[in-house]
Amino acid sequence: MPLAHLDGIRGDFELWGKLEGSNPSGSVKDRAALAIVREAIASGALGGGRTLVDASSGNTAVAYARLGELLGFPVELYVPRNANPERLQRIRGHGATLILTDPAEGTDGALREARARVGAHAERYFLADQYHNPANPGAHYATTGPEIWRQTSGRITHFVAGVGTGGTISGVGRFLKERRASIEVIAVEPSGPMHGLEGLKHLPTAEVPSTYDPTVVDRTVRVETEEALDRVAELARTEGLAVGPSSGAAVAVALRVGRAAPNACIVAILPDRGEPAAKGTS
């Protein structure tokens, strides 16, 4: 949808938000989770009573839990203890087993615990590994990218997305650059390792996911948590949108890009819907 009333919209550039909070479990992560599960079932890696295991900051965990409930496979998820409490409640509500991990270790620590669990009993589990599973960016190459190209009638000049697993920006970025190489792909990261932007990674201090393809990213812009939260409040007030902090971060960066690029057509991913804030940092 067009974002036309934000403070900072000046000049002739267009800013569009790709709303992902209306997906079945409430986030962009439905796309990757479904692709991972479909491929695992087709290959035989998931089924026969095996449990899907993965680490997540929250959104992908909700998507896995819902898919497990619908398709009848058990799910065990490793999530930092300071994740959004509403998401934790939803994960449990879908019947998944939830293991809370050290918040100081973030999702990197959660993934290490998930790997250890699977390594000890490999025959019982399927490690979905959203941070290293090519089905993750593949889902966005196959769906999100073509949708954005079609919905902008090919007019898009800049694409802005936050980096968590890197799947969204990598898959969409690759698709768009195959259509027109001059489209600028801009990654959004938190300003430092300790932040309140749940789902995003500060890559200089994190384990870089193999699902992140730096060759399709033209530049990275970092955002303070406070600026992102200000944009979340503004999106609610001026656009009637309830979105999460990572959406605020993407919009903050998109506005910076637009002010420096007259006549641009910018698309920012708004990854999820707004929920009550988590305590602490992510």
Distance between CA atoms of 11 and 263, rounded to whole angstroms? 8
Counting Cα atoms < 13 Å in the Cβ hemisphere of 149 gives 18
Q: Strands (DSSP E) along the chain, which ranges?
A: 14-19, 51-55, 75-80, 97-101, 125-127, 158-162, 184-190, 219-223, 265-270
DSSP state of 204: G
Distance between CA atoms of 164 and 278, rounded to whole angstroms? 17
Q: Is 43 tagged catalytic?
A: no
Q: Is 29 tagged catalytic?
A: yes
Catalytic residue among 29, 201, 247, 282: 29
Distance between CA atoms of 219 and 239, rounded to whole angstroms? 28
Catalytic residue among 57, 246, 247, 282: 246
Q: Which residues pair with 159 in a beta bridge?
A: 185, 267
Q: Kindly provide the b/e burial profile for residues 55-91, where b requires at least 16 CB atoms within 10 angstroms of the residue's own CB.
A: bbbbbbbbbbbbbbeeeebebbbbbbbbbbebbbebb
Distance between CA atoms of 92 and 11, rounded to whole angstroms? 47
Give yes or no for a contact between 240 and 21, defined as CB atoms under 8 angstroms apart.
no
Active-site positions read: 29, 246
